[in-house]
Structure 1
């Protein structure tokens, strides 16, 4: 065995080992300090990292932990996110197809009834006209609230419920994976990230060493371990910056697809003469020639989400690569989901 190790060092594989040790040092000290005191995560993180071996992925799959994280993320999205999104879509459809048509009728009848009560008066003063508009607005607001409660399709409640389901789950899984990466004996420190490739010179040296050792009749598994090239692992930050940029790009694409779908739905509602919540100066039920501008709340939300997609890139450069696998898989699932609903919206 000593001869083998000396031969391995002579072929330059000691340099490869030093590369691996160098990458092990690329861990976020801020991450370690942030989760060091969260001790209740330790048993959960250890059980999570045992799952690939329990499922038989270790030894049979080249990237067992990466494969497990991708599969776990897709299963969580299928079990939790898909039913939640389906529930959200049903409520949104109820709001658009049932509640808004009824609202459009009341939007015409309430102002007409109020105007008919004042039709006999020949001269209406400015104060009475302001009072009339206030009366119409109050009546429209009360009817809007009544219809929302009757059909149980509040857009705000739908959005907040969806966020209440997705955000805690996303944070919990991220914390578990991050905790698993910073453990001293983490198995994630032994799996090189799949998107990294070694230097051509080091790869050639490793290949030549592997061939020499195989010719000497050594066990193939032992040869593989002795000639394995070190690199950034799932417990290290990503030095290639590939995955941080990919995560940011996917997040931005999801934001833009969501904005397009929302604007498309608003355009359809306007084409059908269906308005949204009452405005303070609203006294007519007829749709205008141009669609109403997007509400300020929606514009602010879009701006915040775009900024978040950009900020996610530098954040992703500071976290372990195992988190990037989870974030990228989750973003890909969201992208596929958004594309599916965007295509249905365009039909």
Structure 2
């Protein structure tokens, strides 16, 4: 009986400790979201004090304006940075690697033919040299692919989560005498604190997000089509791969796109459970991405400046020299 009492007391202590930690974490989260949510409402107060028509919803305009400011002030510079790096990788690193490869095939081929080394060793050496050259060119032109892919997402994901939590807290927080977001309607939303009963805006969010994924493929910098170079039929595919046709990178991008397509469909159901302020934020952010990628597609249709061709010092480019046949005495 005494042991049972001790065990019950210890379990109660552990339970109380978990409850205390959970309550402390909630208080910390609320302490972070409270000023952000108050700032959203105060921005709506400022807009409502402007001489605008009565039909203009001030708090909806505040949500839209804050969303556009976040996207243009934080995510747009990262998108331009990523696009510039991808452009340099396509139009600077690609041609430089191609020119180096054609020259290296001749030099390494002659060396291996002189030393009578097998063709398999030649292929391994060319592959090793090409990997090292790609890393060197990426470092020179500051366009390594992994930071180009990861950093924009690493900036956008925390911003998206924090903004979503802030808009949700602004819609559900207690505000004296009444929360103004709960008394303002917008389109099919009865109020910015309630869910969309029609489901029109959540469906629009999912469709726009799905369209953004498809536009993302088209908005990448256009690949330059290299001029055909006469080579021997013995050249192997591993030697003829362009920088932008690496299968590993293509598989990663394809996997990310397929995952995002599923997320866009899932967001329809999530948006149907979210308050109107969050739905309006997601709709504005997705629409901004749609317009941004249309602009990138329009810019991508313009032909880039052709690089200045330099005279080749190697003369005619041939396939690597094979092992010469032994002379018959």
TM over 0.5: yes
CA distance in 1, matches of 2:239, 2:72: 45
Separation in 1, partners of 2:62, 2:195: 19
Name the stretch that deviates more: 50-59 or 66-75: 50-59
Mapped contact 1:58–1:64 kept (Cα < 8 A)? no
Per-residue Cα deviation, 1:136-171 (whole angstroms, up to 9, x for no partner): 111111111011111111122122222222222222
CA distance in 2, matches of 1:181, 1:108: 62
Q: What corresponds to 1:16 in structure 2?
A: none
Q: Which whole-Å CA distance do the structure 1 matches of 2:228 and 2:157 have between them?
A: 35
- Alignment check: 8 A CA contact 2:47 2:59 kept: no
> Tell me, which stretches of 5 or more residues in structure 2 are unaligned?
1-22, 230-235, 303-329
Match of 1:117 among 103, 111, 115: 111
Aligned equivalent of 1:247: 205
Tell me how large the CA RMSD over aligned residues is: 2.8
Given candidates 151, 161, 167, the residue that maps to 2:141 is 151
Shift of 1:59: 9.1
Of the three residues 105, 126, 129, the one matched with 2:119 is: 129
Aligned match of 2:73: 79
- The whole-number CA distance in structure 2 between the counterparts of 1:313 and 1:248 is 5
Deviations 1:238-290 (A, max 9, x none): 1110111000011011100111234x72xx3344579xxxxxx7553487xxx
Give the C-alpha shift of residue 50 in structure 1: 1.7
Q: How does 1:44-63 map to 2 (within 5 A)?
A: 44-57=36-49, 60=52, 61-62=54-55, 63=57
2:151, 2:228 → 1: CA distance?
29
Change (3 A) 1:75 1:43: closer
| Cα distance in 2 for residues equivalent to 1:49 and 1:272 | 59
User: Which segments of 5 or more consecutive residues in structure 1 lack a partner in the other structure?
Assistant: 1-32, 197-231, 275-280
Asked whether the 8 Å contact 1:110–1:140 carries over to 2, the reply is no
* Whole-angstrom CA distance in 1 between matches of 2:147 and 2:285: 24
Check conservation: 1:111, 1:283, Cα contact below 8 A.
no
Please give the alpha-carbon distance, in whole angstroms, between the structure 2 residues aligned to 1:81 and 1:273.
39
Taking the TM superposition and a 5 Å limit, the aligned residue runs for 1:289-328 are 295-328=250-283
State the TM-score, normalizing by the size of structure 1.
0.68
- Contact 1:178–1:323 (8 Å) recurs in 2: yes
1:194 has 2:187 as partner = yes
